[in-house]
Structure 1
Amino acid sequence: MTAPTTAERIRSACARAGGAMIAVDGIDPTATPVHHLLCDGSFAVTVPSAGRLAASVATAGAAGVQAVLEMTDYAPIALREPVRSLVWVQGRLRDVADRDVSELLDLIAASDPNPALLQVHSDESRYVLMRLEIESVVAADSTGAESVAVGDLLAARPDPFCEMESCWLQHLESDHRDVVDRLANRLPGALRRGRVRPLGLDRYGVALRVESDGGDHDVRLPFAAPVDDVTGLSQAIRVLMGCPFLNGLRARRV
């Protein structure tokens, strides 16, 4: 495999901090700082307690309301087009019963200690906790759109480097232009005429964005095999760069 599956990309997008909105007919889209996939195939989300959305869901009772969760995966550097991918999760949005809130918050916090969780059902509550029961999931990026089954989403795991990716890409962009240039040498000649930027990094390879007068193009440079740790990642990048000194070896002084 030379690239993450769509389900893996969605799980990584969920794990990274990013923009997420809940949309319901007749109500302006509402920001949700927490969007956590649960093992039963639903999303736990938080919405402002004083907003129209919270009131609408409360009024609907057990029936809930039809809603769409939109998650946006932004590039961590200043690209002309910063959106790398979009994920749309359609389903039924319902309140979480008061008796279940504390247990669910603890469950979420165990893997995603989001500060917004402290503002749910507290003395100075800003958010209420809800559950979006998934009916469909669609992801889209520069290659197109694809739907994903809930079972595949639950079976997938986030990329092992997804939480560190932003810092690494920013570091490449600001301090290691030489590395980006050497990776760019692997591109077809026609694409080297534009400005090559680091776009993504995962266990399967490196993604580059080429910004040119003729438009933007995304290109993946796959590793020879998937990697699982920082040492393997460093070696795989060195191979892509054409560096002969692997495993920390250095040229011998003459």
Structure 2
Amino acid sequence: MAVFPPTSTASGPTTAERIRSACARGGGAMLAVEGLDPVATPVHQLLDDGSFAITVPTNGPLAGMVVDSGAAGVQAVLEMTDYAPLPLREPVRSLVWIRGRVHCVPDAEVAEMLDLIATVDPNPALLQVNSGEGARSALMRLEIESVVVADSTGAESVGLGVLLQARPDPFCAMESCWLQHMESAHQDVVERLATRLPVTMRRGRVRPLGLDRYGVQLRVEDEDGDHDVRLPFAKPVDDVTGLSQAIRVLMGCPFINGLRARRLEHPGG
């Protein structure tokens, strides 16, 4: 990934911030255990104690294996996929692998943990979990041993303490809507941002790939493959007004408070 930073102390999110944002976006997640087919985990919530709350099918072999393992738990890898919100040629932006041991959540603790998860992410999949007969999903806990993220820049690990201190990007919940709106209704914005790219990278199709408090990411799709480029803001931003102004500065737009600004802040306009 190429980076063309202006004078800035932070040109992009830290590894831990990227992982927390990927978790918060709630993309696809699979749990892999040796000897079994991977299973989808519609609930995968990082808890304050440094473990992941996950759900697996109650009637599947994985749930039975974890129950039979008792206090030892089962070695597993949780893989989370961060997909781009646009139909790109290569839609995967990053992969996060969390390695650890899976344990059952005691029946007496299930209701409290479900409430805890719901306060952060009211996922409808939580309704499939209960401690009685007929439950479609079993609530379990993944005790983390290691965390690694991989994207177009390579792979990097992050310590659990650093991960817990990090926070998701303040715009990650709105990012998909904004990028889709930018692609469908504001191609002029994409074209203006593309002028910041080296001339040799303007031959292909330029698509919006990511948006966070540190800058904008573009994907260039051409005959030679895909190239991801980050255009950093002059400084990180914390609210919608600051984000809109920072984008217009990248565009070279002199009308800081013009009509286009209001349209960018309200994608429905």
2:14 aligned to 5, 20, 35, which one?
Answer: 5
- Which amino acid is the alignment partner of residue 113 of structure 2? L
Rounded to whole Å, the distance in 2 between the matches of 1:147 and 1:234 is 32
Give the structure-2-normalised TM-score. 0.91
1:180 lines up with 2:193 in the alignment: no
Match of 1:54 in 2: 63
In the TM superposition, residue 249 of structure 1 has moved relative to its aligned partner by 7.7
**How far off its partner does 1:137 sit?**
0.2
- What is the Cα deviation at residue 247 of structure 1? 3.0
> What does residue 246 of structure 2 align with?
236
Higher relative contact order (CA 8 A, sep 6+): 2
**1:76 and 2:85 aligned:** yes
Task: Write the distance in 2 (CA, Å) between the matches of 1:179 and 1:116.
Answer: 37
- Gapped regions of structure 2 (runs ≥ 5): 1-9, 261-269
Partner residue in 1 for 2:50: 41
Structure 2: distance between partners of 1:243 and 1:124: 59
Shift of 1:124: 4.1
Instruction: Give 3-state SS (helix, strand or coil) of 1:27's partner.
Output: coil
Deviation at 1:205, TM superposition (A): 0.1
Secondary structure, in 3 states, of the residue corresponding to 1:36?
Answer: strand
Q: Deviations over 1:165-205 (max 9, x none)?
A: 00111111111111000000000000000100000000000
225 and 99 in structure 1: CA distance in 2 versus 1, 3 angstrom threshold: same
3-state SS of paired residue (1:92): strand
2: CA distance, partners of 1:79 / 1:203: 22
**Corresponding position of 1:227:** 237
Match of 2:180 among 170, 173, 189: 170
The residue aligned with 2:103 is 94
Q: How many residues align?
A: 250
- Separation (CA, whole Å) in 2 of partners of 1:216 and 1:235: 28
Q: Aligned partners of 2:145 and 2:157: how far apart in 1?
A: 11
CA RMSD of superposed structures (Å):
1.1
Give the AA of the match of 1:109: A
Q: Distance in 1 between matches of 2:133 and 2:188?
A: 52
2:138 paired residue number: 128
Scaled by the length of structure 1, what TM-score is found? 0.97
> Which residue of structure 2 lines up, in the alignment, with residue 155 of structure 1?
165
Instruction: Name structure 1 gaps, 5 residues minimum.
Output: none
